């Protein structure tokens, strides 16, 4: 199993922190459409479907552990770490950006970012999802990547190329769509990029169902699970 101390590829923590230091709160974008109230109060986000809704591609057992144990732990730790902290009561995105600057005490960043990342990931899937993106987002993907097949390959390759734990993302950056990967808890918010979609490649996201077959999990995510309506809303 991988840990937050595994080797990093893609955006490094030092690069990530440097980007964060140059941002203002106004530059932070909200990727969680419709959840501003939850972010302000840090209520534990509800899973948007029953635990068995994504079967057979992601099992109820996996979601029980992933959502009920891992996600809950990130939430509980974030709430605990915010007690008496000047960032308490701020939007979750601001907490992430500001805590990223504190290299001496990474715990708040790691937990708050993972709380955000997991909420975004769970919201980005649905029963009967996946396949080609429709409408405007499909048009933008074709414009940015040349075709849906090219996007599919680039996204899966990025996720497969993330050594150890981390994430693959579809992001909007200066009017274009890009695929990026980040290690551990890092997300694109602090790089000034707007998350549109993400796949979790921490082993706890897929190991009970796929063991070491990460690519099979990613292909199932792309073909059967992506909620393109959620992704389209994140385009703004």
Q: How many CA atoms lie within 13 A of 16 on its CB side?
A: 27
Quick one: tokens of 149? 């097949």
Q: Could you read off the pLDDT of 166-222 as tens digits, one per residue?
A: 999 999 998 899 999 999 999 999 888 999 999 999 999 999 999 999 999 999 999
Helix (H, G, I), strand (E, B) or coil at 81: helix
Closest to 223 in 3D by CA, of 119, 154, 133: 133
pTM metric for this prediction: 0.84
Q: Is the pLDDT confidence value at 3 over 60?
A: no
Q: Is the pLDDT confidence value at 73 over 50?
A: yes
Q: Could you read off the pLDDT of 211-233 as tens digits, one per residue?
A: 999 999 999 999 999 999 999 99
Quick one: tokens of 205? 């996201």
Q: Enumerate domains of the chain plus CATH numbers.
A: 7-25+56-236 (3.55.40.20)
CB-CB contact of 15 with 101 (8 Å): no
Strands across the sheet containing 176-183: 176-183, 166-173, 194-200
Mean pLDDT for the chain overall: 85
């Amino acid at each position: 199993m991988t840990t937050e101390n595994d080797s990093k590829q893609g955006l490094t923590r030092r690069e990530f922190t440097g980007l964060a230091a140059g941002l203002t709160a106004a530059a932070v974008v909200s990727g969680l459409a419709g959840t501003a109230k939850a972010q302000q109060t840090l209520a534990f986000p509800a899973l948007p479907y029953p635990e068995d809704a994504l079967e057979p591609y992601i099992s109820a057992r996996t979601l029980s552990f992933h959502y009920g144990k891992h996600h809950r732990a990130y939430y509980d730790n974030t709430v605990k770490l915010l007690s008496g902290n000047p960032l308490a009561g701020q939007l979750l995105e601001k907490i992430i950006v500001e805590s990223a600057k504190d290299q001496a005490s990474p715990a708040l960043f790691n937990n708050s970012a993972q709380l955000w990342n997991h909420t975004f990931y769970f919201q980005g899937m649905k029963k009967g999802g996946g396949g080609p993106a429709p409408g405007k987002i499909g048009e933008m993907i074709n414009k940015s990547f040349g075709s849906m097949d090219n996007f599919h390959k680039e996204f899966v390759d990025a996720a497969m190329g993330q050594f150890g734990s981390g994430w693959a993302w579809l992001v909007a950056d200066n009017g274009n769509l890009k695929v990026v990967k980040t290690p551990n808890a890092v997300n694109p918010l602090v790089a000034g990029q707007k998350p549109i979609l993400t796949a979790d490649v921490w082993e706890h996201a897929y190991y009970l169902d796929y063991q070491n077959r990460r690519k099979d999990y990613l292909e199932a995510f792309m073909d059967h699970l992506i909620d393109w309506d959620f992704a389209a809303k994140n385009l703004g």
